[in-house]
């Protein structure tokens, strides 16, 4: 009998099972169930698809690690959080301040754009808005919107896709990543056929990765280096000296620098974080082998709009545009129109930043009573060491906190890898202070109580 016949049999067998076993003694029902299971198994083994697990044909996919939130889901799997407390999540770095109305309005006013296919390069207007923003924000000489910037559907897809453009898959290339890091860098490296090389962030250097720790025999194989400044999760901002050293290495070894700057507009000091293109300009260098990534998600509280840009080396952007044309990553015309409105306005960005400043200034000292934590340079995370008062791992701290106080934080080791003998996320937690201030304060108060109780 062929598969179709088998299929018919299993349907009838299933029907017989429900009819025959109902109301019959247990032993008989069990026999029917067993027969059914055996029948199903024998049929499944004859169908390569869709019953079989799909076997990925790209073996590189098997190198991808579970995302940190998947690990967190597993950690919390068997835990029932204390129902006395409402749930508060500091886990996911998703902006929660409201989206400004004028951006929503600009999107609504341009829905007619849904009727046309966008070009991958975007309109002149959106590229011009991006270039003018870059010039204002980083005091750059005039950029050429035709060559120096491209709109992207959020910085994440572009951070990933750039690796496909600048890495030679035959070269056994190395991609340098900070550690801890945004997991997309690692996946991008693997799927481009390269291997990541992690550079641990150094608490003694305000968490900046120490690139001088990369062995001399690794540099010649490096084709791409990701840097996140301000960093997720550490909040560290690279200094001009850091950039000078990095550019010197790029000039010597010819690798591309991908500067992820999506947290650049949330900062706590008097001066905005130095940007990659700004540093290149201040050092009298062009943008060769430098691509900067930015995003409206955090700046303008529109993570669902999927809007960002890449800017920098015009030769790389030309190849990137070619790649993106095939990849099919053009930005919706409606989103382009709303993005222009957002990039052209700083008022909402200042107000948003003030909210974060107020929140961080209230929450950080409270948590510092029980955790080793300080106000970061920038970004919306606190990167705290949990073993100030107690000897506990990051995962155990997160699990017990969730169980007893219904507060979710992300174990630091989930956003870092063990590299060069240690995991720079071990004993640390990442807290995203994205919710409104009262909720963040409530979470902090619960954490103080929890930690004190553990330490008692
Ligand atoms: C370090 C870092 N880079 C990039 C992104 C991607 O942001 P988006 O794709 O919304 O621009 C995120 C998002 O959380 C991030 O944390």
For 87-112, the pLDDT digits (tens) are: 999 999 999 999 999 999 999 999 99
**166 and 287, same domain (yes or no):** yes
Q: What is the pLDDT of residues 403-448, one digit of tens each?
A: 999 999 999 999 999 999 999 999 999 999 999 999 999 999 999 9
More confident residue, 145 or 52: 145
- Give the model's confidence band at 19: pLDDT under 50 very low, under 70 low, under 90 confident, else very high: very low
CA dist 105 and 24 (Å) reads: 65
Q: Among 152, 155, 207, 304, say which to mutate for ligand 1: greatest number of ligand atoms within 8 Å of CB.
A: 155
Q: Is residue 133 part of a domain?
A: yes
Tokens standing for residue 49: 């698809």
| 236 and 145 together in one domain | yes
**Looking at residues 330-355, what average pLDDT do you find?**
98
Give the number of the atom of ligand 1 that is nearest the alpha carbon of residue 295: 11
Q: Based on the structure, what is the number of domains in the chain?
A: 3
Question: Do 179 and 196 belong to one domain?
Answer: yes
Question: Which sign, positive or negative, has the C-alpha torsion 450, 452, 455, 456?
Answer: negative
294 lines ligand 1 (CB under 6 A): no
* Mean of all residue pLDDT scores within the chain: 90
Does 79 lie in the same domain as 221?
no
Pocket mutation for ligand 1, best pick of 67, 180, 182 (most atoms within 8 Å of C-beta): 182
Q: What percent of the chain has pLDDT over 90?
A: 83
Taking the C-alpha atoms of residue 280 and residue 287, their distance in angstroms, rounded to an integer, is 6
**Cis peptide leading into 400, omega within 30 of 0?**
no
Binned at pLDDT 50, 70 and 90, residue 37 comes out as low
Task: Kindly state whether residues 168 and 248 are assigned to the same domain.
Answer: yes
Q: Phi/psi at 348 (nearest 5 deg)?
A: -70, -30
Q: Is the predicted pLDDT of residue 35 greater than 80, yes or no?
A: no
End position of a domain, from candidates 298, 324, 345 = 345
Closest CA to 159 of 179, 131, 187: 187
Q: Do both 135 and 234 map to the same domain?
A: yes
Q: Any idea which residue has 């550079």 for tokens?
A: 199
Q: Which atom of ligand 1 is nearest to the CA of 298?
A: 10
**Ranges assigned E (strand) in 203-263:** 208-209, 222-228, 256-260
Q: Is residue 53 part of a domain?
A: no
* Same domain, yes or no: 319 and 365: no
CATH number for the domain that contains residue 408: 3.90.1150.10
Which CATH number belongs to the domain containing residue 158 in this structure? 3.40.640.10
What is the domain range of residue 416? 60-97+348-455
Place of tokens 């690990």: 71
**Could you tell me if 263 and 148 lie in one domain?**
yes
Nearest to 140 by CA among 276, 283, 239, 278: 278
* 28 and 124 fall within a common domain: no
What is the helix (H) or strand (E) element at residue 309, kind and residue range? strand 308-312
52 within domain boundaries: no
Domain shared by 286 and 433, yes or no: no
């Amino acid at each position: 009998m062929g598969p179709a016949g088998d299929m018919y049999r299993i349907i009838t067998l299933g029907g017989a099972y429900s009819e025959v076993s109902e109301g019959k003694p247990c032993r008989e029902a069990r026999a029917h169930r067993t027969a059914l299971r055996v029948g199903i198994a024998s049929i499944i083994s004859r169908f390569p698809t869709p019953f079989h697990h799909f076997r990925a044909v790209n073996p590189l996919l098997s190198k991808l690690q579970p995302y940190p939130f998947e690990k967190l889901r597993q950690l919390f799997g068997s835990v029932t959080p204390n129902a006395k407390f409402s749930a508060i999540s500091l886990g996911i770095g998703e902006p929660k301040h409201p989206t400004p109305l004028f951006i929503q309005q600009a999107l609504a006013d341009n829905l007619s754009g849904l009727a046309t296919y966008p070009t991958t390069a975007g309109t002149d207007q959106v590229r011009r808005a991006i270039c003018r923003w870059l010039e204002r924000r980083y005091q750059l000489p005039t950029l050429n919107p035709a060559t120096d910037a491209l709109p992207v559907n959020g910085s994440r897809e572009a951070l990933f896709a750039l690796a496909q453009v600048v890495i030679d898959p035959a070269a056994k290339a190395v991609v340098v990543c900070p550690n801890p890091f945004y997991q997309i860098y690692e996946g991008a490296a693997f799927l481009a056929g390269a291997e990541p090389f992690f550079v641990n962030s150094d608490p003694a250097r305000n968490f900046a990765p120490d690139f001088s720790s990369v062995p001399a025999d690794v540099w010649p194989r490096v084709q791409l280096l990701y840097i996140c400044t301000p960093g997720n999760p550490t909040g560290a901002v690279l200094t001009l000296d850091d950039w000078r050293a990095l550019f010197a290495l790029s000039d010597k070894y010819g690798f591309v620098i991908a500067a992820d700057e999506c947290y650049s507009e949330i900062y706590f000091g008097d001066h905005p974080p130095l940007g990659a293109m700004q540093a290149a300009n201040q050092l009298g260098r062009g943008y060769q082998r430098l691509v900067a990534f930015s995003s409206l998600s955090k700046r303008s509280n529109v993570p669902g709009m999927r809007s960002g840009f890449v800017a920098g080396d015009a030769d790389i952007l030309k190849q990137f545009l070619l790649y993106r044309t095939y990849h099919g990553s053009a930005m919706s015309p409606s989103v382009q129109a709303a993005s222009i409105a957002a990039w052209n306005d700083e008022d909402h960005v200042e107000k948003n930043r003030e909210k974060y400043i107020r929140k961080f200034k209230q929450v950080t000292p409270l948590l510092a009573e029980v955790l080793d934590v300080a106000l970061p340079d920038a970004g919306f995370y606190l990167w705290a060491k949990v073993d100030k008062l107690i000897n506990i791992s990051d995962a155990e701290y997160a699990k017990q906190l969730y169980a007893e106080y219904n507060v979710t934080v992300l174990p630091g080791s989930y956003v870092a890898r063990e590299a060069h003998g240690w995991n720079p996320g071990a004993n640390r937690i990442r807290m995203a202070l994205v919710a409104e201030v009262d909720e963040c304060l409530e979470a902090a108060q619960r954490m103080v109580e929890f930690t004190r109780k553990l330490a008692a």
